């Protein structure tokens, strides 16, 4: 057996295993090395059992020793000395002893890992409990930052509703303490004001917020889960309000005396003669209006279904836009906000019209229009969306095919097969529909002018 040196350890492998050992043999073991025909260079600690049987225990691989996989000759000697010392203490089965030590180390390590896991779980639980102690306002801000910011308006409308109806009542309540009663307190307050539809919307938004909290382990349970939406304000009633011809004539008489902005008055007739959504009008820019081509483009980002919509300008509709242009023509937006940094809120026109349709017993709201009954019509309260419905109804009454009227409304076709295979644009038919609608509105409104002129002649 050759002597064990670095030079010997670096020798080329032969056809058989080459063994080497230290010259000095300790009384309790020795260091061996082996070079295999494949070129592996291995260290062993050789020792004898109580029965005198000799064992060669693998202790490492020869190498530079700069990583965990290799050891230098000096490292191997040091390890052999350590094992020889164990043997000297009376431990004769070194292999079994080392396996026992390794098992103990693994057990200790596993115990420490289990302890760390337990500590992490406890910390997570504490964090969850702490998060649950957050107030409803804090949960709302978290929800707004993560989810609401992705909405078209950046969550502005949701924030407005929460700051008006939700947070003043339950904003300071800890999320973990919110019960069904807290939520119904919010909706009941809204129902008492007669805003049933808004109460349903508020409830849906509150539920979305709490489910957001559950999804992120901020709370364990959604307190709104036990409340049926159908119980909030009763069943939804589909609106079918349509202004008849007499009401349109009356509205044309009442609007100039209602204390409205000229641009708001024009918005009434734009919505009626284009069948647009009021939010689409409020978000429009002058670059979308082409008086020469007689078109109004509603970009996909402004439409409800995300699809661009081109409205053909009738003479009546174009005239209303020119009224607005005389006032707001220098702005980017047709209806700019106060500092001209963006469009006005889509609720602006709706509020102005609603403030002028209050029943006498309801009185006048503070800091609102004093002409609270100026726009009341015989058929009951009406909204900008009812003008859209009225325009479509007038179209069909004028002989426009329902399918064409639906396209003028920019409704998505319900029938999937029609959506796929029916590719006719109906552009010409739609242009004719808007033209007929504009002409009809001109007749209804100019009739008022003729009546006014006749009354004036009689008085004179």
Closest CA to 285 of 323, 324, 322, 335: 335
User: Does residue 25 have a pLDDT over 60?
Assistant: no
How far apart CA 244 and CA 51 sit, in angstroms, is: 114
The answer to whether 336 and 328 have CB atoms below 8 angstroms apart is yes
- Assess if residue 181 is contained within a domain: yes
Q: Name which of 6-15, 48-57, 121-130, 208-217 the model is least confident about.
A: 121-130
Structural domain includes residue 156: yes
Q: Note the pLDDT tens digit of each residue in 412-446.
A: 665 555 544 455 678 999 999 999 999 999 999 98
Domain boundary (231, 262, 281) is at: 231
Q: Is the domain of 220 the same as that of 249?
A: no
Give the tens place of pLDDT for each residue, 86-141. 888 877 677 777 777 777 778 788 888 888 888 888 777 766 666 557 899 999 99
Q: Say if 59 falls within a structural domain.
A: yes
How far are the Cα atoms of 3, 6, 234, 376 from residue 20, in angstroms, in the given order? 5, 11, 94, 110
pLDDT > 90 in the chain, percent: 49
Same domain for 417 and 272: yes
Question: Is 439 exposed, middle or buried, given 0-12, 13-18 or 19+ CB atoms closer than 10 A?
Answer: middle
Give the mean pLDDT of the chain.
Answer: 85
The helix or strand, by DSSP H or E, that contains position 219, with its residue range, turns out to be none
pLDDT of 411 reads 83
- In the chain the first and final C-alpha atoms are separated, in Å, by 140
- How does residue 1 score in pLDDT terms, banded at 50, 70 and 90? low
Average pLDDT over residues 320-338: 94
Average pLDDT over residues 4-18: 90
Contact 185, 170 (CB under 8 A): yes
Q: What is the pLDDT of residue 130?
A: 62
- Long-range contacts formed by 427-434: CB under 8 A, 24+ apart: 427/310, 429/400, 429/401, 429/404, 430/312, 430/404, 431/312, 432/400, 433/395, 433/398, 433/400, 433/404, 433/405, 433/408, 434/273, 434/274, 434/311, 434/312, 434/313, 434/314, 434/317, 434/408
pTM of the model: 0.57
Question: In this structure, are 201 and 250 located in the same domain?
Answer: no
Regarding whether 249 and 392 lie in a shared domain, the answer is: yes
For the segment 45-90, what is each residue's pLDDT rounded down to a tens digit? 888 877 778 888 898 999 887 887 889 999 999 988 888 888 888 7
Q: How far is CA 43 from CA 40, 95, 100, 252, 415, in A?
A: 10, 15, 21, 104, 79
Residue 236: the pLDDT is 53
CATH number reported for the structural domain that contains residue 54 in this entry: 3.30.160.390
383 compared with 365, residue with greater pLDDT: 383
d(CA 94, CA 455) in angstroms, rounded, equals 122
> Measured between alpha carbons, how far is residue 143 from residues 23, 125, 355 in Å?
76, 21, 32
Number of domains in the chain: 3
Is 21 a member of any domain? yes
Do 143 and 65 lie in one domain? The reply is no
Q: Which helix (H) or strand (E) holds 43?
A: strand 41-48
Instruction: Note whether residue 445 is domain-resident.
Output: yes
Share of the chain above pLDDT 70, in %: 87
pLDDT higher than 80, residue 400: yes
Mean pLDDT for 233-242 is: 69
Highest mean pLDDT among 1-5, 195-199, 258-262: 258-262
77 located within any domain: yes
User: Looking at the predicted structure, is the pLDDT value of residue 283 above 50?
Assistant: yes
Backbone angles phi and psi of 226, in degrees to 5: -85, 5
The pLDDT tens digits for 162-207 are 999 999 999 999 988 899 999 999 999 998 887 888 899 999 999 9
Instruction: Clarify whether residues 273 and 338 are in a common domain.
Output: yes
Say if residue 298 is in the same domain as residue 166.
no
Does 299 lie in the same domain as 195? Answer: no
Mean pLDDT of 332-359: 90
Check whether residue 271 and residue 377 sit in a common domain: yes
Q: Residue 185's domain is classified under what CATH number?
A: 1.10.150.130
At which of 59, 92, 125 does a domain end? 92
More confident residue, 239 or 338: 338
Q: What is the mean pLDDT of residues 333-340?
A: 93
Give a yes or no: residue 330 inside a domain: yes
- pLDDT (0 to 100) of residue 415: 56
> Domain containing 57: what range?
2-92
- Any idea what the CATH number is for the domain that residue 262 is in? 1.10.443.10
Q: Is residue 316 part of a domain?
A: yes
Nearest CA to 158 among 216, 211, 203? 203
Least confident of 37-41, 158-162, 367-371: 367-371
């Amino acid at each position: 057996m050759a002597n064990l040196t670095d030079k010997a350890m670096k020798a080329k492998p032969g056809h058989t295993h080459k063994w080497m050992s230290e010259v000095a043999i300790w009384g309790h073991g020795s260091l061996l090395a082996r070079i295999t025909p494949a070129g592996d260079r291995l260290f062993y600690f050789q020792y004898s059992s109580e029965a005198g049987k000799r064992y060669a225990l693998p202790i490492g691989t020869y190498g530079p020793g700069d990583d965990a996989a290799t050891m230098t000759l000096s490292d191997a000697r040091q390890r052999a000395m350590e094992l020889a010392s164990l043997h000297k203490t009376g431990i004769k089965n070194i292999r079994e002893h080392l396996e026992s030590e390794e098992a103990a180390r693994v057990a200790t390590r596993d115990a420490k890992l289990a302890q760390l896991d337990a500590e992490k779980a406890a910390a997570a639980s504490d964090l969850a409990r702490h998060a649950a102690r957050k107030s409803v306002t804090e949960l709302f801000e978290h929800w707004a930052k993560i989810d609401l910011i992705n909405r078209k308006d950046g969550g502005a409308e949701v924030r407005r509703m929460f700051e008006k109806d939700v947070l003043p009542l339950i904003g300071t309540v800890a999320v973990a303490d919110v019960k069904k009663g807290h939520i119904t307190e919010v909706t009941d307050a809204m129902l008492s004001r007669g805003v049933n539809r808004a109460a349903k919307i508020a409830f849906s938004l509150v539920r979305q917020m709490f489910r957001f909290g559950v999804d992120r382990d901020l709370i364990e349970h959604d307190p709104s889960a036990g409340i049926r939406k159908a119980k909030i304000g009763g069943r939804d009633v589909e609106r079918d309000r349509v202004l008849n011809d007499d009401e349109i004539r009356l509205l044309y008489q009442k609007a100039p005396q209602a204390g409205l902005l000229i641009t708001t008055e024009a918005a009434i007739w734009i919505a009626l003669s284009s069948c647009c959504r009021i939010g689409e009008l409020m978000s429009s820019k002058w670059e979308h209006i082409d008086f020469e081509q007689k078109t109004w483009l509603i970009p996909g980002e402004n439409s409800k279904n995300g699809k661009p919509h081109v409205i053909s300008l009738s003479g009546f509709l174009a005239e209303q836009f020119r009224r607005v242009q005389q006032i707001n023509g220098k702005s980017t937006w047709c209806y700019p906000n106060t500092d001209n940094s963006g469009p006005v809120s889509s609720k602006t026109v709706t509020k102005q019209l609603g403030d002028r349709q209050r029943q006498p017993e309801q009185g006048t709201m503070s800091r609102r229009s004093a002409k609270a009954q100026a726009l009341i019509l015989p058929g009951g309260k009406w909204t900008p969306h009812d003008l859209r419905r009225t325009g479509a109804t007038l179209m069909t009454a004028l002989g426009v095919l329902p399918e064409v009227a639906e396209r003028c409304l920019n409704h998505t076709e319900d029938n999937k097969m029609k959506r796929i295979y029916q590719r006719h644009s109906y552009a010409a038919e739609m242009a004719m529909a808007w033209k007929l609608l504009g002409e009809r509105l001109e007749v209804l409104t100019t009739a008022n002018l003729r009546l006014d002129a006749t009354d004036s002649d009689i008085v004179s």
